[in-house]
Structure 1
Amino acid sequence: MATAPKSNDDIRAQFKQDVNMTAAELAKWLQTEESKTVGQASGDGSSIGHHSGERIVEILHKKQADLTAHDDEHMHKVHSYVSRHLAQGPHNKDDVKTSRWRYSLMNWGHDPLKDK
């Protein structure tokens, strides 16, 4: 398993590698019913992953010079989630395309079926 990124540059590079969806793709995905059906409840009707996806869209729209420590913290959280979730893999490998596993990863900006 990879070690945790240490510097902001490392965090940002890992985030760029982990998030393989564009801001437009992710924003469009977050509007789907499939996106809204997965993830741990946040207490306001949306999942934690769905909120994360919205935050990722905001980060992707920023210029590198405008990123904040709060952005870096969220990028590290994204890296941790994507790494952990990819390692778990889907429960049913025959149905990856429509799996909750894939949908959850997509809420966090990573489509495991998409080439970078």
Structure 2
Amino acid sequence: MTDALELDALWEDFHRAVNMTSQELAAWLRVIDADESTQPLPEHAGEPTGQHVLAILQKRRTDLTDTDLEVMYEVVDTVAAEADVGHEPEAESTRRRRRLMTLGHDPLKA
């Protein structure tokens, strides 16, 4: 397990990277998984990583598992690697935005 200082830093970094609320992320996961005739059950919508991010958002820091920590590091690293502040307005309908939103980061949100 991670020490307290590292956990605090990860918690802050994760919540800075994930700028969507749990309600926004849950709605997004349902939208991207829906097709013309069906809509998935909320607990089964979206990619597994998106579902895991949603679960982490609903937890307290003291309830995190080692798997949660791995996902948090992955999300922080992915969002940092794909951040492109100079081109955010152009990101509105791109695959990059969709991929980041699946992780709980909307590049168009301040």
Residue number in structure 2 paired with 1:85: 82
Contact conserved, 1:34 with 1:103, CA < 8 A, in 2?
no
Select which of 75, 78, 86 maps to 2:72: 75
* TM value normalised by structure 2: 0.74
Identity of aligned residues (%): 35
Larger radius of gyration: 2
Residue 97 of structure 1 pairs with residue 96 of structure 2:
no
Secondary structure, counterpart of 1:113 in structure 2: coil
Scaled by the length of structure 1, the TM-score of the pair is: 0.71
Q: Which runs of 4+ in 1 moved over 6 A?
A: none
Give the whole-Å Cα distance in 2 for the aligned partners of 1:113 and 1:85.
13
Describe the shift of the 1:35–1:112 C-alpha distance in structure 2 as closer, same or farther (beyond 3 A).
farther
Where do 5+ consecutive residues of structure 1 fail to align?
A: 1-5, 37-45
Separation in 1, partners of 2:100, 2:86: 10
Work out whether residues 26 and 109 of structure 1, in 8 Å CA contact, stay in contact via their aligned partners in 2.
yes
Per-residue deviation at 1:35? 8.9
TM-superposition CA deviations, 1:63-114 (whole Å, max 9, x none): 1221122211110010011111114986xx7742111111111011100111
